């Protein structure tokens, strides 16, 4: 069996190298290996100091998240940290890669710390709905003060070791062979007769708990995500670090950690973490080979085309932006240079990088200019027949092996593939706005899309730092969104108000309610997409009434809300309630009331039911892929795990029964997909379908 921790002795220094790829997570084997190595070093009179270092690409990136929810196997990480800290010989942690979570807690427990200049460290537990549970909440403030420690713990963001304020954690930041430097550092300690220096013995960086409470706690109570449990517990643990002796602080942290771990929020956030990584495991990657990408072609003169061109330029590719008229080409060029200028202003790139990007960029008023592109993204939205014509033209122009991508959405990828002589090279891509920020992209495969094409698009997205999600023939996100909105419309039609629906869904954790979102998108664009995406025999059309009354969304000054003044104040509008009331009256609808809980349940059930249909139709491969899309593309609360995870939590049998009840109102839309029945009868949940 391969040892998880290698023990070697180099001139009176024991070197413990953690070898547990890919990220050296602190699994049971690693924890045992550290403790065994430490005991061996402490029991050997020839060993005078210990170095702890990560093998491969990184120092441990945290506790092994896969072990959470299972019985703890000793030694538990807090104990490992305590053993390191209490060691009678000096322990040096040597950090490279990303020392995160429990990994950084091990670093904090070591007596001395050195780091490679490119290393980063952090306490990202909050992103998993937990808190640093191996002494991090007690040791980090002792070294860096409460503010810096809280910044790390509440944002979860990794910090470069060279960042301002980071040097309090490290005795040295080195450029070169880290192991050699660490051993030399340890030998220096030996020759200078320096012994252990324990973090527990340091005073916390603030003296007055009241000043701390006012200045720090309140500030973070403001910014901590209001509906999440862990941030508040982190604040309490740091308060404990200020007020209690170290061991009592540790005990307080231990029980708070356990509380957090047992919440459904933490289970959902851990689900979201693995869902994102699982989504990228496409079957096509087993044999598919990514083709080399040097030049990217972009078709279109609109906002999407310009944004795609800019992110590709920022990644270092050559970009040819092609349109079909000289005017459009000029417009595209000016939009792209404006966006690059904006990126410089916002410090996303330097002026030199922007100049270099422009030097890699050409525009053309003829698609022929795309003949050298390795991948061509058509970012235009046009009727299917016109799209097909474009792909037929591209087939004649593009070089052999070029990947042809419909990034303008709404077209069936198979129809486009049939319009070319190389259907294997054709694929669709759904990129979500805002392009620079959104982390997810759907790769929509046709029946003939080749494995190499898929591998090429995945490598393209990875370079853009996006999670690829696999969809077949159709996109996932727009279908779920349409179901959500239709459920909301049925509620409003039956008697709820758009304001109550928005409030209920914000209470569920959505950034915006569905009607606020509709206002910001503008009615015309959203409604054309929604109409084509959802199956139902009856679509409420009160939005049409609003449009007829001159309301078209936020940009027109009024939609469901009124947007008045500068900056616009957003207000509810009695005229909207009246328009909807009149609509109900004309349609003979007797209004009834909905509680916020009932609204949330219907909206969630509609999304999960549409998700079930997507799974059965083979559009989505796994429930967790749907969750990843909804979290990243539509602001579904991450701590609810996505609609499929949230449906599991709500109970599938109950949801099936409720869907059947709703189906009496609108059978085509609400009838539960048979997957509900199948799962409920077999005592299973959607999560059981999340195969690798």
Binding region for ligand 3H9 (CB under 6 A) out of 44-52, 99-107, 380-388, 596-604: 99-107
Q: How far is the CB of 130 from ligand 3H9 (least distance, A)?
A: 6
Q: Which is nearer to ligand 3H9, 125 or 181 (CB)?
A: 125
| Residue in 33, 37, 54, 62 binding ligand 3H9, rule: CB under 6 A | 62
- Contact characters 8-47, ligand 3H9, x per CB under 6 A: --------------xx-x----------------------
Instruction: For residue 283, give the nearest of 610, 609, 617, 625 by alpha carbon.
Output: 625
Which residues are CB-contacts of 6 (< 8 A; sequence separation ≥ 6)?
Answer: 15, 16, 17, 19, 55
Q: How far is the CB of 439 from ligand 3H9 (least distance, A)?
A: 12
Q: For residues 634 and 484, what is the distance between their CA atoms, to the nearest angstrom?
A: 11
| Residue in 33, 37, 102, 446 binding ligand 3H9, rule: CB under 6 A | 102
Determine if the peptide bond prior to 75 is cis (ω within 30°): yes
Instruction: For residue 146, give the nearest of 223, 228, 241, 222 by alpha carbon.
Output: 241
- Contact characters 224-263, ligand 3H9, x per CB under 6 A: ----------------------------------------
Q: For residues 163 and 166, what is the distance between their CA atoms, to the nearest angstrom?
A: 5
SS3 of residue 192 by DSSP: helix
* Residue 138 makes contact with ligand 3H9 by CB under 6 A: no
SS3 of residue 53 by DSSP: strand
Cβ 4 vs Cβ 21: under 8 Å: no
| Residue in 6, 42, 47, 65 binding ligand 3H9, rule: CB under 6 A | 65
Number of residues in the chain = 692
| Residue in 15, 81, 115, 128 binding ligand 3H9, rule: CB under 6 A | 128
* Residue 277 makes contact with ligand 3H9 by CB under 6 A: yes
* Residue 101 makes contact with ligand 3H9 by CB under 6 A: yes
Cβ 96 vs Cβ 121: under 8 Å: no
| Residue in 54, 129, 132, 540 binding ligand 3H9, rule: CB under 6 A | 132
Instruction: For residue 104, give the nearest of 22, 34, 148, 159 by alpha carbon.
Output: 159
Q: Which is nearer to ligand 3H9, 62 or 205 (CB)?
A: 62
| Residue in 85, 116, 125, 610 binding ligand 3H9, rule: CB under 6 A | 125
* Residue 66 makes contact with ligand 3H9 by CB under 6 A: yes
Query: How far apart, in Å, do the first and last CA atoms of the chain sit?
Result: 25
Which of the following is catalytic: 125, 232, 239, 658? Answer: 125
- Contact characters 299-338, ligand 3H9, x per CB under 6 A: ----------------------------------------
* Residue 105 makes contact with ligand 3H9 by CB under 6 A: yes
660, with CB counted inside 10 A (0-12, 13-18, 19+), is middle
* Residue 205 makes contact with ligand 3H9 by CB under 6 A: no
Tokens of 630: 């909804």
Q: Active site includes 10? A: no
Which runs of E-coded beta strand occur in 388-461? 403-406, 426-431, 440-445
534, with CB counted inside 10 A (0-12, 13-18, 19+), is buried
Q: Active site includes 253? A: no
* Residue 151 makes contact with ligand 3H9 by CB under 6 A: no
621-to-29, 151, 399, 472, 624 alpha-carbon distances in Å: 33, 38, 32, 8, 9
Q: How many residues bind ligand 3H9 (CB under 6 A)?
A: 24
Which of the following is catalytic: 85, 105, 232, 253? Answer: 105
Binding region for ligand 3H9 (CB under 6 A) out of 98-106, 388-396, 419-427, 654-662: 98-106
* Residue 293 makes contact with ligand 3H9 by CB under 6 A: no
Q: For residues 244 and 253, what is the distance between their CA atoms, to the nearest angstrom?
A: 11
Q: For residues 169 and 144, what is the distance between their CA atoms, to the nearest angstrom?
A: 7
Where along the sequence are the contacts to ligand 3H9 (CB under 6 A)?
22-23, 25, 61-66, 77-78, 98, 100-102, 105, 124-125, 128, 132-134, 136, 277
The catalytic site residues sit at 105, 125
């Amino acid at each position: 069996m391969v040892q998880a921790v290698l023990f070697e002795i180099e001139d009176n220094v024991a070197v413990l190298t953690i070898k547990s790829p890919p990220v050296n997570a602190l699994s049971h084997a690693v924890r045992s290996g550290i403790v065994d190595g430490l005991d061996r070093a402490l029991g050997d009179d020839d060993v005078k100091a210990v170095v702890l270092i990560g093998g491969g690409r990184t120092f441990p990136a945290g506790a092994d998240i896969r072990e959470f929810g299972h019985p703890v196997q000793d030694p538990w990480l807090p104990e490992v940290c305590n053993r390191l800290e209490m060691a009678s010989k000096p322990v040096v942690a040597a950090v490279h890669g990303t020392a995160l979570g429990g990994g950084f807690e091990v670093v904090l427990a070591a007596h001395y710390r050195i780091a490679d200049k490119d290393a980063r460290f952090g306490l990202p537990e909050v992103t998993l709905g937990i808190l640093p549970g191996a002494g991090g909440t007690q040791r980090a403030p002792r070294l860096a003060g409460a503010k810096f420690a809280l910044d790390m713990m509440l944002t979860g963001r990794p910090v470069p070791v060279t960042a301002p304020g980071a040097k309090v954690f490290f005795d040295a930041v080195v450029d070169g062979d880290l192991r050699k430097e660490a051993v030399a550092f340890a030998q220096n300690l030996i020759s200078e007769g320096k012994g252990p220096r324990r973090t527990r013995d340091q005073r916390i960086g603030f003296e007055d708990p009241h000043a701390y409470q006012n200045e720090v706690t309140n500030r973070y109570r403001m910014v901590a995500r209001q509906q999440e449990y862990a941030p508040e517990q982190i604040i309490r643990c740091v308060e404990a670090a200020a007020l209690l002796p170290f061991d009592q602080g540790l005990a307080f942290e231990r029980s708070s950690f356990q509380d957090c771990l047992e919440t459904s929020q933490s289970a959902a956030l851990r689900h979201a973490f693995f869902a994102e990584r699982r989504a990228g495991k496409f079957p096509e990657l087993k044999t598919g080979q990514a083709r080399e990408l040097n030049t990217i072609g972009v078709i279109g003169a609109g906002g999407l085309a310009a944004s795609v061109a800019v992110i590709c330029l920022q990644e270092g590719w050559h970009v040819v932006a092609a349109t079909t008229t000289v005017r459009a080409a000029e417009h595209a060029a000016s939009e792209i240079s404006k966006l690059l200028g904006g990126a410089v202003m916002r410090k996303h790139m330097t002026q030199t990088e922007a100049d270099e990007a422009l030097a890699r960029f050409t525009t053309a008023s003829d698609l022929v200019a795309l003949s050298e592109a390795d991948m061509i993204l058509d970012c235009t939205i046009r009727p299917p027949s016109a799209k097909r014509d474009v792909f037929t033209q591209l087939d004649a122009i593009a070089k052999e092996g070029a990947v042809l991508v419909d990034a303008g959405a709404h077209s069936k990828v198979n129809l486009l593939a049939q319009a070319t002589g190389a259907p294997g090279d054709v694929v669709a891509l759904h990129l979500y706005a805002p392009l620079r920020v959104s982390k997810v992209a759907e790769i929509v495969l046709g029946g003939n899309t080749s494995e190499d094409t898929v591998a090429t698009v995945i490598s393209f997205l990875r370079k853009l730092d996006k999670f690829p999600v696999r969809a077949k023939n159709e996109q996932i996100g727009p279908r779920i969104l349409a179901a959500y909105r239709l459920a909301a419309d049925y509620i409003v039609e039956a008697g709820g108000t758009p304001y109550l629906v928005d409030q209920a869904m914000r209470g569920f954790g959505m950034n915006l309610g569905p009607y606020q979102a509709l206002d910001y998108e503008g009615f015309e664009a959203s409604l054309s997409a929604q109409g084509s995406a959802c199956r139902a025999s009856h679509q409420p059309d009160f939005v049409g009434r609003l449009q007829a009354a001159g309301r078209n969304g936020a940009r027109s000054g009024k939609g469901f809300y009124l947007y008045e003044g500068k900056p616009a104040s957003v207000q509810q509008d009695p005229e909207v309630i009246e328009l909807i009331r009149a609509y109900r009256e004309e349609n003979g609808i007797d209004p009834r009331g909905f509680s916020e809980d009932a609204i949330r349940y219907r909206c969630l059930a509609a999304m999960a039911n549409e998700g079930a249909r997507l799974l059965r139709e083979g559009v989505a491969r796994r429930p967790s892929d749907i969750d990843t899309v909804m979290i990243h593309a539509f602001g579904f609360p991450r701590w609810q795990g996505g609609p499929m995870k949230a449906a599991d939590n709500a109970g599938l049998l109950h949801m099936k029964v409720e869907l059947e009840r709703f189906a009496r109102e609108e059978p085509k839309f609400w009838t539960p997909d048979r997957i509900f029945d199948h799962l409920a009868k077999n005592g299973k949940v959607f999560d059981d379908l999340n195969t690798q």
